Structure 1
Amino acid sequence: MLRICLVKFEVLREGKAKLFPVEVEITDINDNAPGFQSEKLELKISETTAVGTRISLQQSQDPDVGINSIQIYQLSDNRHFSLDVQTRTNDVKYAELVLEKSLDREEQAVHDLILTATDGGDPVRSGTAQIRVIVLDANDNAPVFTEAIYRARVLENVPKGSTVVSVKATDPDEGVNKELKYSFRTIVEKGSQIFHLDSRTGEVTVVGNLDFEESALYEIEVQAHDGGGLFDRSKILIVVSDVNDNAPELTITSLVNSIPEDSPTGTVIALLNVQDLDSGENGEVTCSIPSNLPFRMKKLLDNYYSLVIDRTLDREQASNYNVTITATDQGTPPLSSVTSIFLQVSDENDNPPIFNQTSYTSYVRENNVKGASVCSVKANDYDLEDNSRITYSITGTQIQEAPLSAFISINSETGAVYALSSFDYEQFREIRFQVQAQDGGSPPLSSNVSVTLFILDQNDNSPHILHPSFPTDGSTGVELAPRSSEPGYLVTKVVAVDADSGQNAWLSYQLLKATEPGLFSVGLHSGEIRTARSFVDKDALKQSLVVLVKDNGQPPLSATATVTVVVADSIPEILSDLSSLSAPADPQSSLTLYLVIAVASVSCLFFTFILVLLALRLRRWRNSQLFDSSSVTFSGVPVSQFVGVDGVRAFLHSYSHEVSLTTDSRKSQFNFSKTKYSNTLSSEQTCEIKDPILVIEDVSISNGNRTSVQVS
């Protein structure tokens, strides 16, 4: 289309003020040569570009119009390219480069072309541009992995950042077609969080936490692609190796918190389940408990154990157990876990009460206060509650035909023994009984202990004088002592006993009062009255001695005995002096007078009887004289065997008087011989003469033989 260049303006005519439009057409001349925007043009065409492919070229520019504008495009000779000129609707021509023959980069990598644009003016003007065609390498080789399957083994505790495997692919192309990029094509979500693939190097590294127990194998598909879009694929198999990173887990499925102490061995206490998430030896678990416990672990199934009783339990030795169960696997190093079971051992009544002592001995003084505690027993029971609640009771027999309960009682709860009566040492000296301790179990158990209660003596008994014994009428006994007695002659013996014992019964004798001081002496411990010197004429016929008998108690108790000793060598002398025997000064002088008269009467009757007896004897022996005053003497009068001349109530203590009458042609002699004497309280016998007439039990008269008279 031809462009017309017009210049429009108006012309004003002066004077008439009128305007005239004017159009001036400017005619083009070929004063401009064609030109290209860039004199050098570089084209990149792949060697795989198809024949006939058109490539647009830059349009040449020519400001002229019409025939003076570009009319022809020409291309330098080239066997691979041709030029095709096209005209647009506005008569503008443009050129396209057409590929006439396949390019081969390996044959010719660069093609240099010259494009010429020529106008139709006169003279003809033209412009050129250099076209460099660079044959691009075609991506005709896909990447190839070095291995079809990559295998790797990694421990589950491998640290983060560790390289697991490296993949490698090759591409014979060059340039961008040779530049490969690696990527995961198929991977599980968990794997994508654990593994990372370096797109440039192909290294697979660990970025997460591997866990064999969650997944032991990862199968990943990897892809390598070049810059041209070609690719290859391969597989990665990652095997996760187990490490001993899981401790065994113990679960108590059944448990008995309390068990009787008499439970038999083999009784199941608890069932336990053990699990270990590891595998192989790392997952093999054994359970154990301390060896000093009376239990053992028994394996039931693969993952089950039972805790059973292995030895007899005794609550009194151990009332509870804290059983620590340890589960240990076989890994290296081994891992273990611990759980504890608290087991209470319940009590059974298997222990009888046990006394603190095998026997009890206690001492209590006589005359104790009624209701006072005399002793206490104590028993312990190692059981609990009712099984250890002890009740005390007394078992035993009677004491001197009296029930034991009349003397003692026991507090059933405390074991304190109380006296129900005041004890008397002289009645009984010990009490033996048994105490039973019984618990409150079912059935109850009991034990006994022997208790001996010794009664201690107190000085509550005064000495008791056995000899001489005092007549109840107040008269005293008489002992005979020959005047011819030598010093140390045994006149008599004071015999006393004390119902107490020990030092309370240790008696001592001392002369408290005497008619003639210094004439007699008393043995301190024997009580024997002996002459201290020989008799003299001035010594009185009758000697009155007061002997004090005292025990060794605190305070000491005492008694006195009055002994009358008659000093005479013959019976006539005794008879002559009897009338002169005066009673000792005593407030009861009238009573003493009566006693003296009574004794004299008895003596007269006695000698009268003797005279009658002698008269009968004289009839047989006419030539004999009786009772010659110079020949009748008393000899060997024993200390403890005396004729009670002065006593209306004379006591003969376990002895008798034997009167022996011996006659010959010239003299007659009376012998009083001593018989057996008893010093015991139990054998004490008292003979009281109430009749002043002596009885002769046995009289034997024989010619030429001695006559004995036994008086009892």
Structure 2
Amino acid sequence: MGETQKLWSCKEKGLFQYLILLFVWKAVSGQIHYSIPEEMHKGSFVGNIAEDLGMDGKHLSDHDLRIVTRTGMVQYFTLNINNGHLQTSERLDREAICGEAEKCILKFQVMVESKRKLYGIEVEITDINDNAPHFPPGEQEVKINEISPQGSRFPLPEAQDQDLGINSVQSYQLTGSSHFSLDVKKGENGARRVELVLEKVLDREEQSVYDLTLTATDGGDPVRTGTTQIQVIVLDANDNAPVFSQPLYAFTIEENISKGSTIGRVRAADLDEGINGELRYSFKKATKKDSQMFFLNATTGIITVIGDVDFEISPFYEFEVQAEDYAGLFDRAKVEITVTDLNDNAPELTVTFLTNSINENSPTGTVIAILNVEDQDSGINGEVTCLIPQILPFQLKKSTDNFYSLVTVDALDREQRESYNITVSVTDHGTPSLSMDMVIALHILDTNDNPPHFSKSVYTSYFMENNQRGASVFSLTASDPDWEENSRITYSISKRDISDSSLSSCLSINSETGTIYALRLFDYEEFQEIHFQVKAQDGGSPPLSSNVSVTLFILDQNDNAPEILYPSTPTDGSTGIELAPHSSEPGYLVTKVVAVDADSGQNAWLSYQLLKATEPGLFTIGLHTGEIRTTRPFLDKDALKQSLVVLVKDNGQPPLSASVTVTVVLANSIPDILTDLSSISAPADPQSDLTFYLVVAVAFVSCLFFTFLLVLLALRLYRWRNSQLCDSGSVNFSGVPVSQFVGIDGVQAFLRSYCQEVSLTTDSRKSQFNMSKANYANTLTNQLTGEVKDSILAGEDFNLNREDQIILQVS
């Protein structure tokens, strides 16, 4: 136990010595190389990668360092992200990792995420003397014929040491008998062959068995040894040893050969007969791996496969076979088995770095992914081609070793394509070729690179004047192919042909829908058209905008009645007088009515009509000129003062009108006017007479109605009394017809008949005639004008009191 602790203490001392000798260098290829001894504890320091890459140890988190390894590869190292130190993740055994390889080098890559750059790392595992020499288990037998001459040589089992170089077996020592000595020969590959040399002639009858001890010593520090017991059996004479047909047997097989398949056969011959000529074949100098892969038939010498042959695990096998007879004579031959590679491994794609979305304005050369391509086959079977089979704005660029970068090569436009499914295909050059595909989904993020777009450069719309306040007069929209906020459009009125304050009180626009509303009632006579610009702005950062010109044309309505300019209404209340000589011929121009209309178009087309005249047929008026002319010569019976009511009507729908009263005096001069007027007694006002007659008629009808009601009430009382008398005194009126009595139903029928004949009201707002006592014209509403015209043309008399308007409706 103390010796074991001493060995471990020496081992740890050796490890620390190796740590002191640790060195780092950067090769010309750009890879970083470290060298460490095997058997270091988990978490041992390997190297300062951050320092070797020239990074600031205080800001390592900004660089995001990580180790990139091939899929399925054992992770022997870890990276401390706090200080950038490379450390072991487990105890490293060089013999388990690299076997008998002269150099044990582990390769991997370290990626700097911030730079999207890979650095190659090599860690060489150096050997330490951690394995003692050992012999095959059990006691070894050596059979020597008693007639063997002095100096005969017999092979002894060689010690195996998994260490390399000076740490492997360096010497042998034999103890136990002076009849034998050792002869150690160094082979071409550095291995030492041990042979037992017969120093003295043997006599089986004197001693048939010799027990020897063979000790193997390595050259490590500390020195390690291994021993085995050799029993030498002296045999009777057998003077012919087996001989192989050839010293070297070379076989070639393909990987993945099925178990139980025959590889070949070794043959040896022995000239002896009988039991001395019978041979047994066995493996010599075969490792455990060889014995688990192949089987040698001890009788026939046929070699068969018992394991899984894989070129990627081991492409070559070498061992020795021995043919031995029962007398202990033998011969050895070398067997070499070469494994040929088959294309049995498809290429593998591993994503080392990947981003699933980029902006559409990303510059060309932007790295989307870093891929690692591996093929476990060798030669042409391991050569691969990596490409993108589709025509896309992306390209694969080879970086270091088998790493490829997927980058953009053309400008991206999200409005043309929002996402890509990029297929990366890798194919090897074997026969038949094997391949692997990987699909990388990439989303294109939107940037505000498109301003809002109007479908027209100029918009024109029409709406009628006298619109309702707040009514929609026009609507326009713009489109934006961008996404979300970048396509969210707001509208505003940006430029106007009138002052901002004036238009802002006239129009407004819905910032979300683009609908334009009228804030006031528009008058065609004030505005005929409005010019302004609408601005559409998106919600991007920075925002983009577009302007469009809008023209709103206001359409005219017939909302202005004709205005009579001549004859004008006198300010003193008197009536203007026109002179017409007694000697006027037919067609004489008495005067001309002049009127204008503030509307436009057909709404301003005026027509003139003579509604009323003192002497019908004496005067006529031009339909479109307004000229009043005589139609016949004046007669003595004609009144000297003629009153003419002229109606001026426009052509709108509905039409509006105005009227004026023209007084024509039949006289040759002003003095004649005064003379004639003094001789004319003031006529009774026909309107006053009409009002008087109406009042008398209403009073009469009212008295008659109340008298009828009293009579009817008396009859009802009389009839009720008679019925009471008949009931009590048996009075009978059976001879009186029922129709001679008028009931309440009769009164209601009378009232309905009366209302159909005459209807009087003093508070009507719909059908009223407004005429001044001086017969001057006032502007009439549309309904008023129509009713006046109909009443006059029907020949009905009318009279309107200016203070108390009374409407007579004749059915």
* TM-score after normalising by structure 1: 0.53
CA contact (8 A) 2:575 2:663 kept: no
| Equivalent residue in structure 2 for 1:422, among 506, 511, 521 | 521
SS in 1 for 2:386: strand
Q: Which residue of structure 2 aligns with residue 219 of structure 1?
A: 318
Matched, 1:445 2:544: yes
Q: How far is 1:166 from its partner?
A: 3.6
In structure 1, stretches of 5+ residues that fail to align are 1-47, 51-137, 590-646, 650-712
Q: 1:353 to 1:172 in 2, by over 3 A?
A: same
Distance of 1:209 and 1:360 partners within structure 2: 83
Alignment coverage as a number of residue pairs: 454
Q: Which residue of structure 1 aligns with residue 352 of structure 2?
A: 253
SS in 1 for 2:381: helix
| Equivalent residue in structure 1 for 2:374, among 237, 253, 275 | 275
Q: How far is 1:299 from its partner?
A: 1.9
SS in 2 for 1:281: helix
Deviations 1:36-75 (A, max 9, x none): xxxxxxxxxxxx999xxxxxxxxxxxxxxxxxxxxxxxxx
SS in 2 for 1:403: helix
Q: 1:161 to 1:470 in 2, by over 3 A?
A: farther
| Equivalent residue in structure 1 for 2:559, among 444, 449, 460 | 460
Q: How far is 1:574 from its partner?
A: 8.2
Q: How far is 1:393 from its partner?
A: 3.0
Q: 1:368 to 1:528 in 2, by over 3 A?
A: closer
Distance of 1:401 and 1:220 partners within structure 2: 103
Deviations 1:102-137 (A, max 9, x none): xxxxxxxxxxxxxxxxxxxxxxxxxxxxxxxxxxxx
Distance of 1:585 and 1:335 partners within structure 2: 127
Q: 1:571 to 1:254 in 2, by over 3 A?
A: same
SS in 1 for 2:655: coil
1:209 maps to a residue whose letter is: D
Deviations 1:634-690 (A, max 9, x none): xxxxxxxxxxxxx9x9xxxxxxxxxxxxxxxxxxxxxxxxxxxxxxxxxxxxxxxxx
SS in 1 for 2:425: strand
| Equivalent residue in structure 2 for 1:311, among 410, 434, 454 | 410
Aligned positions of 1:626-645 closer than 5 A: none
Q: 1:202 to 1:421 in 2, by over 3 A?
A: same
Q: Which residue of structure 1 aligns with residue 308 of structure 2?
A: 209
Q: Which residue of structure 2 aligns with residue 165 of structure 1?
A: 264
Q: 1:553 to 1:335 in 2, by over 3 A?
A: farther
Aligned positions of 1:131-170 closer than 5 A: 141-170=240-269
CA contact (8 A) 1:392 1:410 kept: yes
SS in 1 for 2:337: strand
| Equivalent residue in structure 2 for 1:478, among 578, 595, 599 | 578
Matched, 1:287 2:394: no
Q: 1:574 to 1:330 in 2, by over 3 A?
A: farther
Greater CA deviation, 526-535 or 145-154? Answer: 526-535
RMSD between aligned residues:
4.5
| Equivalent residue in structure 2 for 1:512, among 601, 611, 630 | 611
Aligned positions of 1:292-691 closer than 5 A: 292-355=391-454, 357-383=456-482, 387-388=486-487, 390-397=489-496, 399=498, 403-472=502-571, 473=573, 475-476=575-576, 478=578, 483-485=584-586, 495-502=594-601, 504-515=603-614, 526-527=624-625, 540=638, 545-563=644-662, 579=677
Q: 1:175 to 1:310 in 2, by over 3 A?
A: same
Greater CA deviation, 239-248 or 186-195? Answer: 186-195
Q: Which residue of structure 2 aligns with residue 630 of structure 1?
A: none
Q: How far is 1:208 from its partner?
A: 3.3
CA contact (8 A) 1:468 1:477 kept: no
CA contact (8 A) 2:347 2:435 kept: yes
Q: How far is 1:214 from its partner?
A: 1.2
1:301 maps to a residue whose letter is: T
| Equivalent residue in structure 1 for 2:342, among 243, 248, 253 | 243
CA contact (8 A) 1:353 1:438 kept: yes
Distance of 2:312 and 2:338 partners within structure 1: 12
Q: 1:194 to 1:588 in 2, by over 3 A?
A: same
CA contact (8 A) 1:483 1:567 kept: no
User: Could you say which structure has the higher helix fraction?
Assistant: 2
CA contact (8 A) 2:562 2:656 kept: yes
Deviations 1:143-184 (A, max 9, x none): 444333222333324344443334344455556666555444
SS in 1 for 2:560: coil
1:336 maps to a residue whose letter is: S
CA contact (8 A) 2:589 2:628 kept: yes
Matched, 1:189 2:302: no
2:575 maps to a residue whose letter is: S
SS in 1 for 2:308: coil
Greater CA deviation, 541-550 or 320-329? Answer: 541-550
Q: How far is 1:310 from its partner?
A: 1.0
Distance of 2:265 and 2:439 partners within structure 1: 50
CA contact (8 A) 2:493 2:533 kept: yes
2:467 maps to a residue whose letter is: N
Distance of 2:291 and 2:622 partners within structure 1: 129
Aligned positions of 1:43-54 closer than 5 A: none
CA contact (8 A) 1:494 1:528 kept: yes
2:406 maps to a residue whose letter is: L
1:210 maps to a residue whose letter is: V
CA contact (8 A) 1:520 1:529 kept: no
Aligned positions of 1:56-135 closer than 5 A: none
Distance of 1:514 and 1:149 partners within structure 2: 153
CA contact (8 A) 2:390 2:423 kept: no
Q: 1:394 to 1:512 in 2, by over 3 A?
A: same
Q: 1:239 to 1:376 in 2, by over 3 A?
A: same
SS in 2 for 1:247: coil
Q: How far is 1:279 from its partner?
A: 1.8
Q: How far is 1:372 from its partner?
A: 4.2
CA contact (8 A) 1:248 1:328 kept: yes
* TM-score after normalising by structure 2: 0.47
Quick check: which has more Rg, 1 or 2? Answer: 1
Q: 1:523 to 1:208 in 2, by over 3 A?
A: farther
2:537 maps to a residue whose letter is: Q
Distance of 2:266 and 2:383 partners within structure 1: 37
SS in 2 for 1:404: helix
Distance of 1:435 and 1:354 partners within structure 2: 12
| Equivalent residue in structure 2 for 1:265, among 339, 364, 374 | 364
Q: How far is 1:495 from its partner?
A: 4.7
CA contact (8 A) 1:479 1:563 kept: no
Greater CA deviation, 177-186 or 143-152? Answer: 177-186
Q: How far is 1:462 from its partner?
A: 1.6
